[in-house]
């Protein structure tokens, strides 16, 4: 069981067998490419499907969380050949869209990929950005 949304996405993507390392909030400096970085909690708002009475401290609270998933790859080899895995962004998209993220510490009703884009190559690095929305329960108060 993961302790965070980022950890649950990491576990889910690593179990999908994509052959790429996944880091919560990014890797250590100097980490070799390619890798995926997950940034959780971009936005967290009440779900329109929230249950319970407003102000009821015992009520389950459903939320919608936006998460950013960055796929970072080398664009070209030293010899100038393509190094980018063109199939990887679609594979990550398919793995996340509709995922229930069973390793999450709360119940995840589902996830959907809201958008996917590709940044221009900078310093021989290409970055694909996926914005993912999770419908889930809020972590209980401790």
pLDDT of 91 reads 98
| pTM, rounded to two decimals | 0.91
Q: How many CA atoms lie within 13 A of 125 on its CB side?
A: 12
- Domain count of the chain? 1
What is the helix (H) or strand (E) element at residue 11, kind and residue range? helix 5-15
Q: What letter does residue 76 receive in the DSSP assignment?
A: B
Tens digits of residue pLDDT in 61-107: 889 999 999 999 999 999 999 999 999 999 999 999 999 999 999 99
> 133 lies in a domain?
yes
CATH code at position 32: 3.30.2000.10
> 19 lies in a domain?
yes
């Amino acid at each position: 069981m993961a302790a965070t949304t980022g950890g649950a996405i990491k576990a889910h993507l690593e179990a999908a067998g994509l052959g790429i390392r996944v880091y919560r909030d990014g890797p250590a400096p100097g980490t070799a490419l390619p890798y995926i970085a997950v940034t959780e909690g971009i936005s967290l708002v009440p779900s329109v499907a929230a249950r319970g009475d407003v102000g009821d401290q015992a009520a389950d609270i459903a939320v919608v969380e936006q998460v950013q998933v960055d796929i970072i790859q080398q664009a070209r080899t030293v010899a100038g050949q393509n190094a980018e895995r063109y199939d990887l962004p679609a594979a990550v998209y398919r793995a996340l869209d509709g995922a229930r993220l069973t390793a999450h510490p709360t119940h995840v009703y589902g996830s959907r990929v809201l958008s996917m884009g590709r940044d221009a190559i900078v310093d021989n690095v290409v970055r694909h950005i996926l914005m993912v929305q999770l419908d889930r329960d809020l972590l209980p108060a401790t």
